[in-house]
Chain A
Amino acid sequence: MGSYKENETRPRTLAHPGRYNPVRIQQMTSRAGRHIRLSLLPGVSIYDGLVLPLADLGIQYASTTILGGIFSELEYCVAPPDPKGGALIAYSAPLKAGLSQFIFGNATLGTSIKGKPMVHCHAVIRTESGQVKGGHILTETAIVTQQPITVLVTSIDEFSIRQAFDLETNIPLFQPMRGNEDV
């Protein structure tokens, strides 16, 4: 029965280890966001280049678009099934891309479970060997080379983005929160 055959093109519904949360969209809205054009300077990591200047502007939470540029070092992870089975997916060990061209990426600035600034970044890159790859970028070890890299920042000012343990997926994830409560 059904129009799908054994070619596995039908979207799959996966069962996560934790109990299904009936609220599927956790969202918060603010009246406006500040927009900032920021330059990541040579020798600085994505993490430091975002966190420190934005903290000076009083911005702890933001959504950012990182435009193209060159990184002298860059590491990324892919997301295969979790070999330990604690969650459906777990990040791989870091893969070294070397001297890399950053093609396009987005990064979310929030705070970790421990309350420290945290940057979650996914991007498309061209590795030193010439392969176009994508994945989760390790922002603390991604170092800008000679030319500054432009970032468009949209601030989140009226609520927070905080990492919290998610019971359904069994991993910590960014969630919008107001005060000490999640949505």
Chain B
Amino acid sequence: MSRESRVESGKMGRISYARILPNEDLVQAVEKLCLVAEFKNAFVRGALGSLVDASMEHRDGQITHIKGPAIEIVSIAGEVRTLSDGSVKADLTGVVSDTEGNTFGGYFVAGGNPICMTLEITLEEWLPQ
């Protein structure tokens, strides 16, 4: 068995598309969306929208705060997993842009990214074998 990576085989399941309304937190809203859609695990297939302000964490733990409004979400990749304690956790990374189009990247901090006007998001359910 390879020691270079850990493999989880599975298949894609249902599709959930949502509009998340203003002032909901990006990361926690994605977690709640999985509860609504009854997805235990999911991948982000696409997302775009805007934030009031943005908080992005870097590998050294530092957090960059980007002041809006609005901060545009211009890319997101991520997944949602159900943990052993039954909680649902979204890990989202991506790029945002400010009101002059300047870009910032990092991990989206849970609780630090309130949605401004809307978030359009498509999740695809992941069904591990």
A interface, CB within 8 angstroms of B: 7-9, 11-14, 16, 21, 23-33, 63-65, 76, 78-81, 87-89, 95, 103-108, 120-124, 131-136, 154, 156, 159, 161, 166, 168-169, 171, 173-176
Interface pair A173/B19, CB less than 8 Å apart: yes
Interface pair A27/B37, CB less than 8 Å apart: yes
Number of interface residues of B (CB under 8 A): 57
Interface pair A173/B118, CB less than 8 Å apart: yes
Interface pair A108/B48, CB less than 8 Å apart: yes
- The contact of B72 among A23, A32, A78, by CB within 8 Å, is A78
Give the interface SS of chain B, mostly helix, strand, loop or mixed. strand
Interface pair A24/B118, CB less than 8 Å apart: no
Interface pair B120/A174, CB less than 8 Å apart: yes
Q: With A12-B52, A63-B46, A124-B74 in contact, is A27–B13 under 8 Å at CB?
A: no
A-B contact pairs, 18 of them (CB 8 A): A24-B20, A28-B16, A28-B17, A29-B14, A33-B124, A63-B45, A79-B70, A87-B117, A104-B95, A108-B120, A121-B48, A122-B72, A122-B74, A133-B101, A134-B102, A156-B15, A174-B19, A176-B17
Kindly report which residue of chain A lies nearest to residue B99, judged by CB atoms: A80
Assembly CA distance A112 to B115 (angstroms):
22
B1 on the A face (CB < 8 A): no
Give the interface SS of chain A, mostly helix, strand, loop or mixed. strand
Chain A nearest CB, measured from B117 CB (Å): 5
Interface pair B101/A120, CB less than 8 Å apart: no
Chain A nearest CB, measured from B90 CB (Å): 13
Assembly CA distance A80 to B72 (angstroms):
10
Q: With A12-B53, A33-B124 in contact, is A124–B103 under 8 Å at CB?
A: yes
Chain B nearest CB, measured from A172 CB (Å): 10
- The contact of A132 among B21, B65, B72, B103, by CB within 8 Å, is B103
